[in-house]
Amino acid sequence: MPSMRILAVCSGNAERLRGKSYKSGIFKHPVAAPVMIDREGLIGDAICNRKHHGGIDQAVYGLGSVDLDWWSAELGSEVSPGTFGENLVIGGVDSRVISVGDRFETEQVILEVTSTRIPCATFAARMQDAQFPKRFYKAGRPGFYCRVLKAGTVEPGDIVTFRPFSGERVLMPEMLGTYGRNLSAVDRARYLAAPIHYKLRAKLTTP
């Protein structure tokens, strides 16, 4: 991939979803000032349901500018950064070719991809479309969750160095497509050889 930059850093507060009784941190908005990232994610970013969101292996959710451009064309209007609940938008990145173990490095921060985004009811409510998760699955542009290997600050304009995983690749669309399904012995071994999310690792190693 060519040299890249962070195009947007997005954070959010707990906000009530339309038609729901609970609040969510899915509403993200671009911020202009530097933001500190620690092993749990962006400081000050709301995470309301920690059973399914956040945590050390999905501390930061990223999308590529290629993904947002595609969705803007697909939906017929500009999809602004933060719409899908992403924390970072990285220029020139297409999440269809991102693998577990790939790393994004800035001068201060190192992120390592662990897993893909799985659309849920909260995402559907945020998009005000009950069928949007199916559309998201079909698109195969799910973005990527990362663990934080090196904490520090990030801000729009930061140069990003991409370091691909050196082992067998587990791409984000594949992870999305195999979610909840049994893997073959060969695929299970490939998944376990990559630095996948600890929850998925536990599922794949439980008899």
Q: How many CB atoms lie within 10 A of CB 61?
A: 23
Q: For residue 77, what are the domain limits? A: 4-205
CATH of the domain at 159: 2.40.33.20
Q: How confident is the chain (207 residues) per 10-residue block, as mean pLDDT?
A: 86 81 84 95 80 83 97 95 95 97 98 94 87 93 97 97 97 94 95 96 90
pLDDT value, residue 191 = 97
- What is the model's pTM? 0.94
Per the structure, how many domains does the chain have? 1
pLDDT for residue 23? 81
Distance CA 179, CA 203 (A): 11
